[in-house]
Amino acid sequence: MKDSVTSLLLAGVGGQGVLLASDIICKVMMRAGLDVKKSEVHGMAQRGGCVTSHVRYGRKVYSPIAKEGDVNVLVSFEKLETLRYLNYLKQDGKVIINEEEIFPPSVNLGEAAYPADVVDIVRHRFKDVLVVNAPALARKAGNIRAISTVMLGALSRYLPEASPDDWKYVIG
Domains for the chain: give ranges and CATH numbers.
Answer: 6-171 (3.40.920.10)
- In whole angstroms, give the CA distance from residue 9 to residue 71: 7
**How deeply is 171 buried, as exposed, middle or buried, from its count of CB atoms within 10 A (0-12, 13-18, 19+)?**
middle
**Could you tell me which residues are beta bridge partners of residue 54?**
9, 39
- In whole angstroms, give the CA distance from residue 86 to residue 170: 29
Does this model's pTM top 0.85? My answer is yes
**SS3 state of residue 139:** helix
CA–CA distance from 116 to each of 34, 102, 103, 154 (Å)?
39, 13, 12, 23
Question: Residue 106 has what pLDDT?
Answer: 84
pLDDT in tens, the chain (172 residues): 456 999 999 999 988 899 999 999 999 999 999 999 999 987 665 566 789 999 999 999 999 999 999 999 999 999 999 999 999 999 999 999 999 999 888 888 999 999 999 999 999 999 999 999 999 999 999 998 899 999 999 999 999 999 999 999 999 8
CA–CA distance from 169 to each of 141, 147, 166, 172 (Å)?
19, 18, 5, 5
- In whole angstroms, give the CA distance from residue 145 to residue 138: 7
Q: H or E stretch including 75?
A: strand 71-76
